[in-house]
């Protein structure tokens, strides 16, 4: 799981942008024809000038990757069994690392691997938001990373449902996590996830995680 273990990384080229925004990684057998179909769908619906603008925008911020990694190191830490996470007042959206703690320990999955999956999920949401929400890219970036961090944590789980729904049309969030849980041997969470069990902590954690990248894209830019 080479790319998977690297987590969120700066975008290197257009192909990498497609892969990371859609979560189509060879590590989980989601590359190949899946990635090609995604690429064709994007290119048939988005003009080249807009695609280039999207790619350029994904490379402009100095905050994105460091803050995704900072957030994910806490969110995905399976060595901590606590369910209370950053940016929420309750455990309605349990912390991913806490939700997977027992299963990861049983399957001997390193905490770093779960953290990487969280990073990739947040990054995909971030990248997708720059494509589908036209109001975000024109805004200037904030200069103080700590200010961005504070706002990011505060807004990370306060994204409107309509914003989250728009992201679903871009990234393969559900398939990514189903394959990740299955291939890492975390069988109980994998079954609960596949069944979308309502009282499952992993299902509830996942549902909140989708919008976190959008929150970062919004708060790292000035309100104008």
pLDDT < 50 stretches in the chain: none
Query: Is 3 within the bounds of a domain?
Result: no
So what's the pLDDT on residue 1? 57
Query: Is 32 within the bounds of a domain?
Result: no
Domain count, the chain: 1
The pLDDT tens digits of the residues spanning 173-190 come to 999 999 999 999 999 999
- Distance between CA atoms of 120 and 114, rounded to whole angstroms? 10
So what's the pLDDT on residue 148? 97
So what's the pLDDT on residue 224? 67
Domain range enclosing 121 = 62-219
- Distance between CA atoms of 66 and 97, rounded to whole angstroms? 19
Query: Is 153 within the bounds of a domain?
Result: yes
Query: Is 96 within the bounds of a domain?
Result: yes
Query: Is 25 within the bounds of a domain?
Result: no
Query: Is 128 within the bounds of a domain?
Result: yes
Q: Are 170 and 132 in contact (CB under 8 A)?
A: yes
Q: Are 208 and 88 in contact (CB under 8 A)?
A: yes
Please enumerate in sequence order all residues whose Cβ is within 8 A of that of 135, keeping only pairs 6 or more positions apart, or say none. Answer: none
Give the global pTM: 0.96
Which DSSP string do the residues of 42-110 spell out, in sequence order?
A: HHHHS-HHHHHHHHHHHTT-SSHHHHHHHHHHHHT-TT------TT-SSSSS--HHHHHHHHHHHHT--
Query: Is 109 within the bounds of a domain?
Result: yes
Query: Is 23 within the bounds of a domain?
Result: no
């Amino acid at each position: 799981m080479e790319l998977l273990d690297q987590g969120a990384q700066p975008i290197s080229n257009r192909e990498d942008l497609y892969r990371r925004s859609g979560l189509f990684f060879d590590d989980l057998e989601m590359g190949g024809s899946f990635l090609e179909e995604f690429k064709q769908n994007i290119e048939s619906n988005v003009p080249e000038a807009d695609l280039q603008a999207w790619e350029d925008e994904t490379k402009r911020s100095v905050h994105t990757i460091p803050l995704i990694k900072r957030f994910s190191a806490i969110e995905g830490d399976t060595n901590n069994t606590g369910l209370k996470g950053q940016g929420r007042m309750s455990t309605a959206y349990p912390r991913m690392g806490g939700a997977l703690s027992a299963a990861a320990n049983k399957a001997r999955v390193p905490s770093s691997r779960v953290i990487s999956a969280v990073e990739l999920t947040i990054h995909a949401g971030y990248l997708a938001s720059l494509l589908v929400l036209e109001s975000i890219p024109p805004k200037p970036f904030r200069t103080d990373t700590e200010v961005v961090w504070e706002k990011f944590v505060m807004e990370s789980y306060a994204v409107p449902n309509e914003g989250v729904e728009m992201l679903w049309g871009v990234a393969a969030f559900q398939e990514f996590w189903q394959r990740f849980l299955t291939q890492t041997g975390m069988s109980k969470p994998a079954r609960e996830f596949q069944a979308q069990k309502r009282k499952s902590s992993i299902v509830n954690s996942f549902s909140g995680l989708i919008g976190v990248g959008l929150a970062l894209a919004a708060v790292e830019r000035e309100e104008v």
